Structure 1
Amino acid sequence: MSKQTQQLKGKRFREALQGSGLTGSQLARILDLENDQNITNWKARGVPAYMAGEVARTLIVEREWLEGRDVPMRTSTTERTPTPPENGSPIYALELRSPWDPGTSLEVDEVELRLYREVEFINGPGKVPRAEVQEITGPKLRFSRDTMRDCGVDPQNAVFAMNHCNSTEPLIRLGATVGIDTGMTRIVDGEMYAIDHNGLLRIKFVEKTPSGITLKSFNSKEYPDEDYDFDKIISQRFVILGRIFWWSYIRPLGSRSMA
């Protein structure tokens, strides 16, 4: 990014922040940032791409404008900037969401993610059952296009699955729903991927090695690193399904965290 582009993005962020009536500290709290230094940096260089969507929604401006593109700051579909409250509290509100079921039409900014899970089948009489990770017809998950854009995910490549192992705890809880970008199967060290390992759906950090790959678990105390050379990768039917870009876990009232 050129210095001129950074200056333009920084100028537009400052303008949007001033117009919102928020202070930098208030915005940092709303966005759940660790400190105000991010705000200071954004005033100089602009908002980074991975935060642009959330910041634009919070400040009620068009994301493309915030990113320095030649578009209006606001359009007829952009909400009006709210008046700052007299008590100086942050400007944000909980928005009511309509309940939905499988028959509810999708909103303009929503897509349906397909479900992937382990499936066991038999090729013929006397054959040993074989497992595979496949798309399951029926269950769908509603998801925001804007969120996927923030993550760099093409909606056509997005699927979801359930986490059935505690090797990712406490980062991703047992039973959590995960979003998978099937368009990103290239291994980037340190990224987390969904893997079809001989029919078993696994979620692991993947790192390349000179002889193959290493699978790492967030719960490394219980699950040590696993090394696989190229021969094992082929013989054990290793398939990288895609990068994990999102996860969610519902905690029912009364449930207790495991030590």
Structure 2
Amino acid sequence: MEFKDRLRARMTDLEMTATDLSSRIGVSKSSITFWRNGTNRATGSNLMELAKALKCNPEWLETGKGAKEPNAIPSNGRRAESNASILGYIAPWDDETPLEDDEVAIPLLKDVRVAAGSGEISEEFFTGKKIRMGKYTLKNRGVSPENAVCVTVSGNSMEPALPDGSTVGMDRAQTAIKDGKVYVIKHDGELRVKQAYRRPGGGIRLRSFNQAEHQDEEYTIEQMAEKDIWVVGKVFWSSVLWD
């Protein structure tokens, strides 16, 4: 039994049409048709949304393994307490792999590193490689694809949440500071990622997660103008590789 067979069977069980699934998942009807015909299969956030709409486990839908029903009780009669949820499966791809219907390519400014600490001078933003990201992920965070940019974090000031080498996605449309949120800040020609707080009179306070080694920095509105400090965008996503 293949993916397409499990998909068809589940649609039959729930009396769902391709139009029903298309509207619930937010993909084109032709994508549903391709999945049903076996031309390709749902992956990533599409798979998650498809399994949710079909009220089944994504692992079963993708591979046929595991319980079909999401709340099935194991054979020992006891259900373990869950403290995690599956957001998506990792699928291999390269720069030549076509984007899925639910994906967009977000510019990765690989050669412009966000400074989490002392900072690195950046002459200008320029696009290097790109990060594949689900449209649902962006929509869920209220981010328009044209405003999304990914950059690389350097330094240890945002550890442990964002260690050196992390990748963050920022929304360039969100520049109004909400206290405690994380932003990419332009500072004297350097890019920095920090928690930001508003100060009375229009100033700014920049805070690191690693406060043991990096103290808060405060700037008045006059100092912000003098040092060319401004918010580039709000961080809405991050990716970390563990050592």
Pairs within 5 Å for 1:78-89: 82-83=68-69, 84=72, 87=75
Q: Distance in 2 between matches of 1:93 and 1:227?
A: 40
Q: Which amino acid aligns with 2:153?
A: N
Structure 2 residue 108 is matched with structure 1 residue 118: no
Task: Name 1:61's counterpart in structure 2.
Answer: 53
Alpha-carbon shift at residue 59 of structure 1 (Å): 6.3
Mark the runs of 5 or more structure 2 residues left unpaired by the alignment: 1-12, 15-44, 56-60, 62-66, 114-119
SS at structure 2 position matched to 1:147: helix
Task: Name 1:107's counterpart in structure 2.
Answer: 100
Q: Distance in 1 between matches of 2:49 and 2:132?
A: 20
Alpha-carbon shift at residue 249 of structure 1 (Å): 1.1
SS at structure 2 position matched to 1:246: strand
Structure 2 residue 132 is matched with structure 1 residue 142: yes
Q: Distance in 2 between matches of 1:61 and 1:172?
A: 34
Output the TM-score relative to the length of structure 2.
Answer: 0.62
Pairs within 5 Å for 1:24-173: 57=49, 60-61=52-53, 82-83=68-69, 84=72, 87=75, 97-116=90-109, 117-118=111-112, 131-132=121-122, 134-173=124-163
Mark the runs of 5 or more structure 1 residues left unpaired by the alignment: 1-18, 21-52, 63-72, 74-78, 120-129
C-alpha offsets along residues 29-56 of structure 1, whole Å, 9 cap, x if unaligned?
Answer: xxxxxxxxxxxxxxxxxxxxxxxx99x8
- What is the percentage of aligned positions where both structures have the same residue? 33
Count of aligned residue pairs for this structure pair: 175
Q: Distance in 2 between matches of 1:100 and 1:59?
A: 22
Q: Of 198, 203, 221, which residue of structure 2 is paired with 1:230?
A: 221
Q: Which amino acid aligns with 1:105?
A: P
Alpha-carbon shift at residue 203 of structure 1 (Å): 0.6
CA contact (8 A) 1:133 1:196 kept: no
Output the TM-score relative to the length of structure 1.
Answer: 0.58
SS at structure 1 position matched to 2:96: coil
Task: Name 1:187's counterpart in structure 2.
Answer: 177
CA contact (8 A) 1:132 1:198 kept: no
With over 3 angstroms needed to count, the CA separation of the structure-2 counterparts of 1:223 and 1:57, relative to structure 1, is same
Task: Name 1:203's counterpart in structure 2.
Answer: 193
Q: Distance in 1 between matches of 2:97 and 2:171?
A: 25
SS at structure 2 position matched to 1:207: strand
Task: Name 1:240's counterpart in structure 2.
Answer: 231
C-alpha offsets along residues 15-37 of structure 1, whole Å, 9 cap, x if unaligned?
Answer: xxxx99xxxxxxxxxxxxxxxxx
Q: Distance in 1 between matches of 2:87 and 2:171?
A: 29
With over 3 angstroms needed to count, the CA separation of the structure-2 counterparts of 1:181 and 1:133, relative to structure 1, is farther
Q: Which amino acid aligns with 2:165?
A: G
SS at structure 1 position matched to 2:53: coil
Q: Distance in 2 between matches of 1:179 and 1:195?
A: 13
Superposed CA RMSD? 3.5
Alpha-carbon shift at residue 132 of structure 1 (Å): 3.5
With over 3 angstroms needed to count, the CA separation of the structure-2 counterparts of 1:118 and 1:59, relative to structure 1, is closer
